[in-house]
Amino acid sequence: MSSPYGSPKKKRSTGAVVALVVGGVFALLVVFGALAEPEESRDDKTGNPSAPVAKTTAAPPSDPEPATAPPARSGSAELPGFVGMGLQSAQDRAQELGYHRLTSHDALGRGRHQISDRNWKVCFQSPRPGRHRSTTEVDFGTVKLEETCPAEDAGGDVAEAGSTMPDFTGTSVKVARQALDSSTGLTVQDASDEDRSVLVESNWQVCSQEPAAGTALDGRPVVLRAVKFDENC
Lowest mean pLDDT among 28-32, 40-44, 125-129: 40-44
What's phi and psi for 175, nearest 5 deg? Answer: -65, -40
Q: How far is C-alpha 71 from the chain's CA centre?
A: 16
Residue 120's closest CA among 142, 149, 140, 98? Answer: 142
Residue 158's closest CA among 142, 140, 181, 137? Answer: 181
* CATH-assigned architecture of domain 76-144: 2-Layer Sandwich (3.30)
Q: Answer with the residue of higher pLDDT: 28 or 156.
A: 156
Query: Residue type for 77, please?
Result: A
Q: What is the dihedral of CA 79, 84, 88, 92, to 10 degrees?
A: -20
H or E stretch covering 205: strand 204-210
Count of CB atoms within 10 A of residue 173's CB? 23
Q: How far is C-alpha 7 from the chain's CA centre?
A: 121
Instruction: Decide if 109 contacts 171 (C-beta within 8 A).
Output: yes
For the segment 36-57, the average pLDDT, to the nearest whole number, is 48
Provide the H-helix boundaries in the chain. 14-36, 39-46, 87-96, 173-179
Residue % of the chain over a pLDDT of 70: 68
Could you give the CA distance from residue 22 to residue 138 in angstroms, rounded to a whole number?
Answer: 111
For the segment 34-63, the average pLDDT, to the nearest whole number, is 49
Where in the sequence of the chain do the CATH 3.30.10.20 domains occur? Answer: 76-144
Residue % of the chain over a pLDDT of 90: 63
Residue 101's closest CA among 130, 132, 124, 129? Answer: 132
Could you give the CA distance from residue 216 to residue 60 in angstroms, rounded to a whole number?
Answer: 85
Instruction: State the pLDDT at residue 157.
Output: 76
* List of E strands, 112-185: 120-126, 130-133, 138-144
Instruction: State the pLDDT at residue 155.
Output: 87
For residue 213, pLDDT beyond 60: yes
For residue 42, pLDDT beyond 60: no
Alpha-carbon Rg for the chain in angstroms: 54
Predicted confidence (pLDDT) per residue in 113-149, tens digit: 999 999 999 999 999 999 999 999 999 999 999 999 9
Output the CA angle 107-176-184, nearest 5 degrees.
Answer: 155
Q: Would you place residue 45 in the very low, low, confident or very high pLDDT band (cuts 50, 70, 90)?
A: very low
**Those residues with Cβ within 8 angstroms of residue 17's Cβ, 6 or more apart along the chain or in another chain:** none
Lowest mean pLDDT among 76-90, 132-146, 154-168, 212-226: 154-168
